[in-house]
Amino acid sequence: MYIYKPDYLVMTAGPTMVSGNVLQARAKAFGNPDLDPDFFTFYQSVCDKLKIFFGTEKAQMIIMNGEGMLALDAACASLTEKGDEVLVISNGVFGEGFKDLILQYGGNVTIYESDWKSGLSASKLEEFLKSKSNFKFATIVHCDTPSGVLNDIGPICNLLKSKGILTVVDTVAAVGGTELKVDEWNIDIALGGSQKVFSAPSGLSLLSISDDAWDAIENRTTPIPSFYCNLSYWKNCVEEMLFPYTMPASDIMGLNAALGNLLSERPNRVIERHEEMRDYTIERLKDMGIELYLNDSFSPTVTAFLVPEGYDAQEIINHMKNKYKILIANSYGPLKNKVLRIGHMGENARFDRVMFTLDNLEKTLCDLKRG
Amino acid sequence: MYIYKPDYLVMTAGPTMVSGNVLQARAKAFGNPDLDPDFFTFYQSVCDKLKIFFGTEKAQMIIMNGEGMLALDAACASLTEKGDEVLVISNGVFGEGFKDLILQYGGNVTIYESDWKSGLSASKLEEFLKSKSNFKFATIVHCDTPSGVLNDIGPICNLLKSKGILTVVDTVAAVGGTELKVDEWNIDIALGGSQKVFSAPSGLSLLSISDDAWDAIENRTTPIPSFYCNLSYWKNCVEEMLFPYTMPASDIMGLNAALGNLLSERPNRVIERHEEMRDYTIERLKDMGIELYLNDSFSPTVTAFLVPEGYDAQEIINHMKNKYKILIANSYGPLKNKVLRIGHMGENARFDRVMFTLDNLEKTLCDLKRG
């Protein structure tokens, strides 16, 4: 019988390594989440913990059963009506990817394209909006992992709100590892996943939904063309004690333990730890003579760098994995094979792991040069 | 901090109790399923195990990250085009429920309604199809849990195939606990979930997809209006080593252990065990003077019975849970509060658990009468 037993350190931009107490929380017996009133109390308590990381008291948090892509698809399905004008703000692979999600629901997409090597600028976007601003909503990526850019989304979301444009923010690879202030920044829908900074296994989508977003969803003139991606089923699910489907109690028990770990450490300290790991990673890469992909706006969760001249991206990855038992990642789209990435998020944003990774990247470059 | 720690035996029609080795398989470290070639081998090996329970060598199995409802929604999203004629074969709450899933994708629904207290009859359906048979596909529920009916889907799916109608079979609450022969019965899409007979936690949708179903999906004239429910992304995912999203490696490791348990016991013996538990449950209920809901076609996975006169459904459930630490279930839709249900599927189809449940149901009826 085939046994799957990986023996390497996962230093990618998610999923991350998972703590033992999180794995054990998933290994406990659980009740029937459809029928047990205690489960609804538990679910709400986990949502309340999430609110701390999302920086919101006003928004509603929901936890859906599916990978982070479900959150993105559900937000687009629930907001977009045929013919709606939607602004896709893009400075990376994932930023651009929102286009297809919106087109499939009949939205008219305008792409605001910005330099992939730098963070988004609110003032430049403001210029752009002078020519056209009749958008129902805009999509923005907080940390676009293929390049490791961290966008300063606060001023951007507040600007959009001032123009009456709803915001959908993909913060899957950022929330927890950097500041997120859903209320202060007026973010309408923020999207997270379990397997990034929270360092729980993949499988849960985490969404904050503002009153304005609920209004937009409830004031649609056409029905939401989906069951699984239909956010409207979630609005009153705790009060009515009726989820749209059987909730993954075991996965949520794991997430609860993962959030507990970060709360014990204190969320502000967790962010500091991520910044320290980013700074350390950048410094070490520079010391090795490696060129970073970005000019500015380096995310504290992942660092992208150019494949040094004379090396092959996949060869570096394979050598790291096979000889040193560390998995780092290639990039996506046009950056594939040109850019490599080290994830330092969640449980991987630890000095020992990051140092071990960089030490062995250095050895790898040396090994491959000799070979 | 709120602690969720249920202390009761879950004897509902899923989720079921989960074995210790399945919980522990979920508590093991896992790699990065996006990037590790070994994960694709592992995923395929779990699909191959599933094929044994689905009774197929020819169909492709896929595992999606979401509760069983995702499987239903994805099948409807991927097959239905606006204006398609779809037959919804219904003899229960879930049978009827397919209607809404198809309407949301613009299908024209014809409902073939059959007596809820009996299994479907292929010969009666054949009569009906004489008047109208221009359906692209038909939906059928194998075990409709709210009533506990098990439909003899083999002759029905073969009949539909002979008319050129594709079949979508919801076998979420049946597969593993009763015979399923996807190849022999010519089922085009069969839909399962992790939390029923397989007794893994909720969170995975399991689908078999025939060549005819792939042809229908690939020959659409309009795009599938969904990302998360789009089956077409799955056709070549193993060959191309690219899943549509990060796979829930940990959940699949749990499912793998759960399938291993059933394979060790032997799939035929597992089915016999379910039949024994159904027969025992029915006999005990009759001995207590309790009336069964169905006239025939009792599922080996769940038994539904009428709330005895003079009793309140919720009071029985609450008393069982609070005093005897066993959770049984109410029913849904028009059967709610009239019908109660004992799940005896997967790890719950064990004599000690079923006997303990029935003994305490008897005590409960006695307690509440005195009270």
The per-residue pLDDT for range B237-291, each reduced to its tens digit, is 999 999 999 999 999 999 999 999 999 999 999 999 999 999 999 999 999 999 9
Q: Name the pLDDT band for A290 (thresholds 50, 70, 90).
A: very high
- Whole-angstrom Cα distance, residue B157 to residue A251? 36
Stated length of chain B = 371
B141 to A247, B116, B173, B187: CA distances (angstroms): 21, 12, 9, 12
- Whole-angstrom Cα distance, residue B257 to residue B133? 43
- Whole-angstrom Cα distance, residue B225 to residue A107? 12
Check if the beta carbon of residue A305 is closer than 8 Å to that of residue A293: yes
Q: Map tokens 């995923």 to a residue.
A: B43
Q: Does the pLDDT value for residue A2 go beyond 80?
A: no
Q: Within 13 A of A44's CA, how many CA atoms are on the CB side? A: 13
Mark yes or no for CB contact A6/B65 under 8 Å. no
Q: Name the pLDDT band for A3 (thresholds 50, 70, 90).
A: confident
For the segment A44-64, the average pLDDT, to the nearest whole number, is 98
Q: Does the pLDDT value for residue A130 go beyond 70?
A: yes
Kindly report the average pLDDT of chain A as a whole number. 97
For the segment A223-251, the average pLDDT, to the nearest whole number, is 97
**Two tokens at B78?**
């991927």
> For residue A282, what is the enclosing H or E element?
helix A267-287
Check if the beta carbon of residue B3 is closer than 8 Å to that of residue A256: no
The nearest alpha carbon in chain B to A203 belongs to B248
- Whole-angstrom Cα distance, residue A214 to residue A310? 53
Q: Which pLDDT score is estimated for A5?
A: 85
Mark yes or no for CB contact B28/A23 under 8 Å. yes
Q: Which pLDDT score is estimated for B371?
A: 54
Return the number of other C-beta atoms located less than 10 Å from residue B168's C-beta: 29
Which of A2, A70, A244 minimises the CB distance to B228? A70
Which residues in chain A have Cβ-Cβ distances shorter than 8 Å to B257?
A: none
- Whole-angstrom Cα distance, residue A282 to residue A287? 9
- Whole-angstrom Cα distance, residue B198 to residue B258? 6
Q: Which of residues 3-62 of A touch B (CB under 8 A)?
A: 4-6, 8, 10, 12, 14-15, 17-18, 23-24, 26-36, 38-39, 41-42, 45
Q: Could you report the predicted ipTM of this complex, rounded to two decimals?
A: 0.96
- Whole-angstrom Cα distance, residue B328 to residue B351? 16
Render pLDDT for A71-118 as a digit per residue (tens, 0 to 9). Answer: 999 999 999 999 999 999 999 999 999 999 999 999 999 999 999 999
- Whole-angstrom Cα distance, residue B193 to residue B199? 9
For the segment A138-161, the average pLDDT, to the nearest whole number, is 98
Distance from CA of B258 to the nearest CA of A (A): 14
Q: In sequence order, which ranges of B288-344 are alpha helices (DSSP H)?
A: 313-324
Percent of chain B with pLDDT over 90: 96
Instruction: Identify the burial level of A71 via C-beta atoms within 10 angstroms of its C-beta, where 0-12 means exposed, 13-18 middle and 19 or more buried.
Output: buried
Return the number of other C-beta atoms located less than 10 Å from residue A58's C-beta: 10
Q: Does the pLDDT value for residue B79 go beyond 60?
A: yes
Q: Which pLDDT score is estimated for A1?
A: 61
* Residues whose CB is less than 8 angstroms from the CB of residue A288 and which lie 6 or more positions away in sequence, other chains included: A358, A361, A362, A365
Domains and CATH numbers, chain A: 9-15+267-370 (3.90.1150.10), 20-263 (3.40.640.10)
Which DSSP symbol is given to B137?
A: E
| B71 interfaces chain A, CB cutoff of 8 Å | no
- Whole-angstrom Cα distance, residue A316 to residue A307? 9
- Whole-angstrom Cα distance, residue A55 to residue A63? 16
- Whole-angstrom Cα distance, residue B107 to residue A173? 38
Helix and strand element counts for chain A (H, E): 11, 14
For the segment A253-266, the average pLDDT, to the nearest whole number, is 98
Strands B189-193 and B204-209: antiparallel
**What would you measure as the largest C-alpha separation in chain A, in angstroms?**
66
A24 to A21, A66, A251, B24: CA distances (angstroms): 5, 21, 11, 8
Kindly report the average pLDDT of chain B as a whole number. 97
- Whole-angstrom Cα distance, residue B124 to residue B120? 8
Rg (CA), chain B: 21
Q: Which of B237, B44, B38, B29 is nearest to A321 (CA)?
A: B38
- Whole-angstrom Cα distance, residue B230 to residue B253? 24
Q: Name the pLDDT band for A242 (thresholds 50, 70, 90).
A: very high
Which of A2, A24, A249 minimises the CB distance to B42? A2
Q: Which pLDDT score is estimated for B4?
A: 84
Position A203: which residue type? G
For the segment A303-328, the average pLDDT, to the nearest whole number, is 97
Mark yes or no for CB contact A104/B330 under 8 Å. no
Q: Which pLDDT score is estimated for B28?
A: 93
Q: In sequence order, which ranges of chain B are alpha helices (DSSP H)?
A: 20-26, 37-54, 68-79, 93-103, 122-131, 153-162, 211-218, 237-240, 249-265, 267-287, 313-324, 351-370
Bridge partners of residue A329, in order along the sequence: A341
Handedness of CA A67, A68, A71, A74 (dihedral sign): negative
Give the distance from CA B82 to its chain's centroid. 27
Q: Does the pLDDT value for residue B97 go beyond 90?
A: yes
Distance from CA of B16 to the nearest CA of A (A): 8
- Whole-angstrom Cα distance, residue B282 to residue B14? 19
Q: Does the pLDDT value for residue A371 go beyond 60?
A: no
Q: Name the pLDDT band for B318 (thresholds 50, 70, 90).
A: very high
Strands B339-343 and A189-193: unpaired
Mark yes or no for CB contact B67/A246 under 8 Å. yes
Strands A60-65 and A329-330: unpaired
Per the rule left: phi > 0, alpha: psi between -120 and 50, beta: everything else, B120 is beta
For the segment A256-281, the average pLDDT, to the nearest whole number, is 98
Q: Name the pLDDT band for B1 (thresholds 50, 70, 90).
A: low
Tally C-beta pairs within 8 A across A and B. Answer: 221
The nearest alpha carbon in chain B to A250 belongs to B201
**Two tokens at A38?**
């205690």
Q: Which of B145, B95, B69, B120 is nearest to B339 (CA)?
A: B145
Whether omega for the bond prior to residue A155 falls within 30 degrees of 0, making it cis, is no
Q: Does the pLDDT value for residue A191 go beyond 90?
A: yes
Which DSSP symbol is given to A318?
A: H
Q: Which of A226, A76, A365, A157 is nearest to B103 (CA)?
A: A226
- Whole-angstrom Cα distance, residue A173 to residue B65? 19
Which residues in chain B have Cβ-Cβ distances shorter than 8 Å to A195?
A: 246
Q: Does the pLDDT value for residue A167 go beyond 80?
A: yes
Helix (H, G, I), strand (E, B) or coil at A126: helix
Q: In sequence order, which ranges of A34-163 are alpha helices (DSSP H)?
A: 37-54, 68-79, 93-103, 122-131, 153-162
Which DSSP symbol is given to B308?
A: P
Q: Which phi and psi angles does B113 have, rounded to 5°?
A: -95, 130
Mark yes or no for CB contact B30/A223 under 8 Å. no
Q: Within 13 A of A360's CA, how many CA atoms are on the CB side? A: 23
- Whole-angstrom Cα distance, residue A218 to residue A78? 9
**Two tokens at B262?**
């059933």
Give the distance from CA B160 to its chain's centroid. 21
